[in-house]
Amino acid sequence: MATITVLDVIRTKRDGGELTDAQIDWFITGFTDRRVADEQAAALLMAIVWRGMSPRELASWTAAMIASGERLDLSSVGRATCDKHSTGGVGDKVSLPLCPIVAACGVAVPQLSGRGLGHTGGTLDKLESIPGWSPQLSNDRFVAQLRGVGAVIAAAGDDLVPADRRMYSLRDVTGTVESIPLIASSIMSKKIAEGTDALVLDVKVGSGAFLPRIDSARELARTMVGLGTAHDVRCSALITDMDQPLGFAVGNAVEVTESIEVLMGGGPADVVEVTLALARRMVELANGTADPAEALASGAAMDRWNDMISAQGGDPAAALPRATEIETMTATTGGHVRRIDARKVGEAAWRLGAGRARKQDDVSAIAGIVLRAVAGDRVSAGTPLLDLHLDDPTRLAGALDALDGAIEIGDEPPRPRTMIHDRIDAERTAPP
């Protein structure tokens, strides 16, 4: 067999060729153990951005990513497992109520989550606003909590797909994040290595989403579902709306508060709709028969939430951090709220301190935004539109700049918002 070199790998993809399985395995192994330099890997990643990957290449690339580390064994959990992954958005706190709801339906939810970056929030950042709660679990504790509680949200260990951890950091600083094959392999390698039986993907679309156009969202959904199916993970994807913020709260502690409201039988209608749609699909893929709406209404999901938080050192009854200062933004004219731009609101929350520009940055549990009006509401001049929650007043001016033009007010009411745009399954594409 001919000797493989990194230059041969780069040139093959640069010139539009397909990488062989051997080339892919060699590259991922060499990159993980640092025999391949960052600048060489960056060149290949940019070639992939421009040239794409065939389905065979992508399946092989994802398999090599998984093989770079350990794969969790959940066979001792004793019940079907199903996870959910969201591509990220503004006010997207769905994982918080979703995991205990699905667990209350008898399906174990093994969720390895991440932190926010830029205008999108991170599940771990939100949960860390609960006093005492920790995302750091050993594999043994992770599996034990799945057996006992039925749900766990934790950080991925260092031995789970180490190739992706290094590659994502490189993509972030080389302009190679926006590639559907690279996005899909990054997400799916971690989820497949997690060991779940089934996976439901929440692919966001709209201004606050990573992919604002629905054709791109569908392509990513199909790609990820195909990868999961190829690795014997039952997969389905819902394409959900992220053109406007989800719910009223955007931040960390404020989103935990809103999630608890959902678990108590209240909360914003859009959050409840998306959460239950995902929960039903998760239960279906796990071959369950329980009704997530009944698990929510009965209080069983709230009990699982309390157990999940307590099992990871948190106090579910503890008071959450609150803002020391709240600045209210009001309407300058009357009419109907036609649209609230999700990306602008997310960027404003980030500038207040709720998000981070780099992965190593700290975030504020307190900072965030709470909407006082949503699309469809009729307002007058002076009506409160949103509250900015501060713990650092020097950040206010930047947040207000980000909100310039975020709220559209007009004479005519907007069309009703559609939350579930499409469903992508392994065998077919179906309407919701």
Catalytic residue among 190, 281, 356, 423: 190
> Is residue 355 within a helix (H) or strand (E), and if so which, with residue range?
none
User: Does the annotation mark 189 as catalytic?
Assistant: no
Catalytic residue among 83, 92, 164, 241: 164
Do residues 155 and 135 make contact, with C-beta atoms less than 8 angstroms apart?
A: yes
For residue 235, how many C-alpha atoms fall within 13 Å in the half-sphere facing its CB?
25
In whole angstroms, what is the distance from residue 249 CA to residue 4 CA?
52
Collect all residues with Cβ–Cβ distance below 8 Å to 179 and sequence separation of at least 6.
45, 48, 49, 52
Catalytic residue among 84, 171, 218, 421: 171
Estimate the share of the chain in helix, then strand, then coil, as percent rounded to the nearest 5. Answer: 45, 15, 40
For residue 142, how many C-alpha atoms fall within 13 Å in the half-sphere facing its CB?
22
In whole angstroms, what is the distance from residue 91 CA to residue 246 CA?
5
In whole angstroms, what is the distance from residue 178 CA to residue 243 CA?
19
User: Does the annotation mark 190 as catalytic?
Assistant: yes
Catalytic residue among 13, 51, 84, 85: 85
In whole angstroms, what is the distance from residue 150 CA to residue 292 CA?
14
CA distances from 303 to 6, 56, 88, 149, 307 (A): 53, 45, 27, 10, 6
Tokens of 221: 């959904």
Amino acid 36 reads V
In whole angstroms, what is the distance from residue 219 CA to residue 364 CA?
35
Residue 360's beta-bridge partner residues? none
User: Does the annotation mark 85 as catalytic?
Assistant: yes
3-state secondary structure of 15: coil
DSSP class of 404: T
Catalytic residue among 113, 186, 189, 364: 186
Do residues 83 and 194 make contact, with C-beta atoms less than 8 angstroms apart?
A: yes
b (16+ CB within 10 A) / e for 358-393 = eeeeebbbbbbbbbbbbbeeebeeebebbbbbbbee
In whole angstroms, what is the distance from residue 95 CA to residue 73 CA?
22
Residues involved in catalysis: 85, 164, 171, 186, 190
